[in-house]
Amino acid sequence: MPALEGVNGNHFHMNTRSWRLLADFIFERCADLIKGDERQGWHENYGKMISRETAIAIADRLEKLIEEGAVKRYQIELSIVNMEFYFSEENLRKFIEFCRHSGGFDIW
C-alpha cells in the first residue's frame, strides 16, 4: 500500500489500485508541472521526493480540474471498466489538502 509522507510529518495512504489511478490522473493532467527527476517513481515505493512547489502546483491544478468537471468525466470513463470505486472526488480532495500542507512529500 503506497504511503506518502510529508516533510512536515503528515501522511496520506491509499490502496495500491486507488493510488495508481490517482497517479495516472495526475500525470495525464499535470504533466507540465512535474519536472525531471520528479516524474520517476510514482508507481514504486522507494521514497521518491516531490518538492513543496510541485505539491502545491499539483493541488492548485487538481482543484481547478474538480471545478471544471474533469474529475466527474474521469469517473464516468472509469465506470465503463468498473473501476470508478477506486477513484473518488473525496479522496482527491484529501490528497489536495495533503499536498497543500505537506511541505513536499516522499512516496513510499
Q: What is the pLDDT of residues 67-106, one digit of tens each?
A: 999 999 999 988 888 887 788 899 999 999 999 999 999 8
Q: Provide the domain count of the chain.
A: 1
Q: Which domain holds residue 39?
A: 3-107
- Please give the Cα distance from 10 to 66 (Å, whole number): 24
pTM for the predicted model, two decimal places: 0.88
Instruction: Using alpha carbons, select from 24, 26, 1, 36 the residue that is nearest to residue 99.
Output: 26
C-alpha distance from residue 26 to each of 20, 67, 107 (Å): 10, 15, 14
Read off the amino acid at residue 49: M
Residue showing cell 468525466: 73
